[in-house]
Chain A
């Protein structure tokens, strides 16, 4: 799995070859195919792992700020999945469904901590929007289009925007 992550991070979904993953992992092709019947099945398993890690981290966080920072941290660990996922999102409807499912689950967890600061708007709607922003932030970072910032700095910026906005009252 770790070898797969690295290959997807380096070469993207289409570019990653099972033979390279196998070589990097030091196993035989037969051994890999014993576990996964195809590249897409292998990727789906990795995505599942990423989703579990993300929801677990969000569930364990004690505050919204902590959740936002762990989102960035987990996405970095799974950079290969983040890149490959954005590559196949529009091409594989079953992956889009898995992405949407994960986004609902993570937004639900964010909404839990959003209820308190929120006074006016639907927490669910705001949570989905934050999930979207974090998703794209992670995608851009994974593709190296933007420089890396400290996860806590990003979390502070986003948290501040939610609570205080941008302008003085």
Chain B
């Protein structure tokens, strides 16, 4: 049900898609387009954004914008690709000497990464439905996080530090959701303004630690 054109592969590949050789001046122009695109995506959403509006925001003609990117989806894919390296590093979860997940700092750095790129995340979430190449990239990122959790939990189960009958795969899935969704509701939807980052981190730490039971 998802489109799997060439663009999908490109969204996750290392090859640069800008068609103009990145001379110093070319790079500057490209960055100007990327910055303008983020502003337009955030203001109008990916669906309603146009290349013309991006050009206008960047102070460039649409012709110039088209020389760098063939459409807005290509610009968004390029932006995601830039974020990918940071995301890959973030999916390596810290564990302590016993092999237990170190949750609180992981949540806080996840929130920090999210805040830094909040306009991009906003557009990414918005582009999940109806399915597009970007939902595919998102599912891929989600799966990478899940694998990260599963590795740590599986190891913990083997060495006997987890609760005995832990369902590793389901718990890993739920753990990713605990990171992803409250961050989305806080930073993209702007809900729960009265809650602090540390309260969120503390709660997730309890759920992925020894629980909240008496």
Does residue A29 face the partner (Cβ distance < 8 Å to B)? Answer: no
Q: Please tell me if the beta carbons of B162 and A121 are within 8 angstroms of each other in the complex.
A: no
Least distance between A76 CB and chain B CB atoms (Å): 17
B153 → chain A closest CB, angstroms: 7
Q: Mark B99-114, 1 if CB is under 8 A from A, else 0.
A: 0110000000000000
- Contact string, B145-173, partner A, CB cutoff 8 A, digits 1/0? 00000000100100011111011001101
Q: Given A157-B167, A166-B171: A118 and B212 within 8 A (CB)?
A: yes
Is A12 an interface residue when CB atoms closer than 8 A count as contact?
yes
Query: B83 in the interface, Cβ–Cβ < 8 Å?
Result: no
Bound-state CA distance A17–B166 (Å) is: 45
Find chain A residues with CB under 8 A from B214 CB. Answer: 117, 119
Contact of B163 among A126, A135, A167 (CB under 8 A): A167
**Which residue of chain A has its CB nearest to the CB of B189?**
A96
A164 and B129 form a contact (CB under 8 A): no
Surface stretch bound by B, among A20-28, A39-47, A52-60, A143-151: A143-151
- Does chain B have a CB within 8 A of A81? no
Question: In the complex, which residues of chain A have a beta carbon less than 8 angstroms from the beta carbon of B164?
Answer: 168
B 115-153 contacts with A by CB, 8 A? 122, 125-126, 128-131, 135, 139, 142, 153
> Interface extent on B, as a size class?
35 or more
Interface centre among A118, A144, A166, A168 (most CB of B within 10 A): A166
Cα A58 to Cα B174 with chains together (Å): 20
Interface residues on A, range: 35 or more
Q: How far is the CA of A54 from the CA of B51 in the complex (A)?
A: 42
B47 within 8 A of A: yes
Contact status of A90 and B126, CB under 8 A, knowing A157-B170, A163-B212: yes
Task: Flag if A144 contacts B1 (CB, 8 Å).
Answer: yes
B4 within 8 A of partner (CB): no
Q: Which residues from chain A contact B185 at a C-beta distance below 8 Å? A: 103, 128, 132
Contact B174 A158 (CB under 8 A): yes
Cβ-defined contact, A90 with B122, below 8 A: yes
Can you list, as one digit per residue, whether each of A114-134 has a CB less than 8 Å from chain B (1) or not (0)? Answer: 000111111001101100110
Q: Which residue of B lies closest to A157 (CB)?
A: B170
Contact of B131 among A137, A143, A157, A169 (CB under 8 A): A143
Min CB distance A154 to B, Å, is 7
In the bound complex, do residue A169 and residue B210 qualify as a contact, i.e. CB atoms below 8 Å apart?
Answer: yes
Contact of B177 among A14, A91, A126, A136 (CB under 8 A): A136
Tell me which residues across on chain B come within 8 A of A135, comparing CB atoms. 181
- Give the distance in Å from the alpha carbon of A122 to the alpha carbon of B195 in the complex: 11
Known: A91-B126, A121-B206, A168-B163. A126 touches B212 (CB 8 A): yes
Q: Check B212 against A119 for contact (C-beta < 8 Å).
A: yes
Expressed in whole angstroms, the Cα–Cα distance for A137 and B7 within the complex equals: 27
Q: Which of B47, B200, B204, B212 contacts A117 (CB 8 A)?
A: B212
| A118 nearest CB neighbor, chain B only | B212
**Given A129-B178, A166-B166, A168-B161, A86-B212 contact (CB < 8 Å):** no
Binding site for B on A (CB under 8 A): 11-15, 83-84, 86-87, 89-91, 96, 100, 103, 117-122, 125-126, 128-129, 132-133, 135-137, 140, 143-146, 149, 153-154, 156-158, 160-169
* A-B residue pairs in contact (CB < 8 Å), sample of 9: A14-B130, A119-B212, A121-B202, A154-B170, A164-B213, A165-B206, A165-B211, A167-B163, A168-B163
